[in-house]
Structure 1
């Protein structure tokens, strides 16, 4: 019973974390979303110009400057006012932030499930179980070669960060128009794939149907 309750608690914690991320992306709390977007964008832009070691060092140094300054300030205030408020970060220091074995086991199980799914999909695409799906992957990889020639990894992360924080807002404002264009694009893509499949040899179509 205790193990089941712990697993349920771990699962609920992961769900709360995912819900918090969704709320940030959808700007349910504009201040928190603005801070998260600004910090993530500044870090990615810094990584584009500096090394990862330099960026992490500057981030930790900035954090230490803030915490040390605040600690000294509170100590001086307590000494002047002769109060016994104690450590200003006591509540955070006393908070349990350790990862439980149940949470680690649940996360490892989810990673294992996703890894197995990825392995199966990769095998069927690379070994051409379905010719149409493999051709789709080949087309995507061909397009990615052009993307890789124009952008590096950090630039793609910057664009993805901007997209994650702006796309939900744009979709909420232009939902009907975007849905209409997406449906039109899907229908055209299905027509093209159907024409391509009709031109395949009969043996390939029979294998796919089986």
Structure 2
């Protein structure tokens, strides 16, 4: 659900006019609409994909720290908080989109639970102090091809037994580290979406078992 330009936005500007919206599907903000500005490459995940993803994640959401690395409309990160995550960091390099996200956080009364950072996600992952996240959403702009760089930069920001969601074009499965365990995978006509467990330390409880079973959306 990401904007497509790769450079950092230069200076503040007004948020683009919304031409659509995406809704938060479940939790305390259920059916709240988030604006989707008309920007190249801004591609919100469908309701069906997000419903499937959050069904997979539901047992791990309570109290989780979440990173939405390419936030766009914020639907993934804010949906997680709506459903019980303790805190979400939303990274968005476009200044107008970041301003819209901050407005959404303010309207939801979520300033203590959601932090919007206007920054290039890869730069933040490379330079920010290690901050362990339990759940990470990687849904970069498809045209930019950022999966490999993001996956290389991510390990220092993962908590013990973290979960990582990766969304990509249906014909492209990004190469995740070999020790990551595939948990669930689904496809639509245009999108492949997959959830991985990153094992370590105490040994994670599973989400409905550890089998790798494709799902359709």
- The structure carrying a bigger strand percent of its residues is 2
| Higher relative contact order (CA closer than 8 Å, sequence separation 6+) | 1
Which entry has the higher C-alpha Rg, 1 or 2? 1
TM band (smaller chain)? under 0.3
Relative to the length of structure 1, the TM-score reads: 0.27
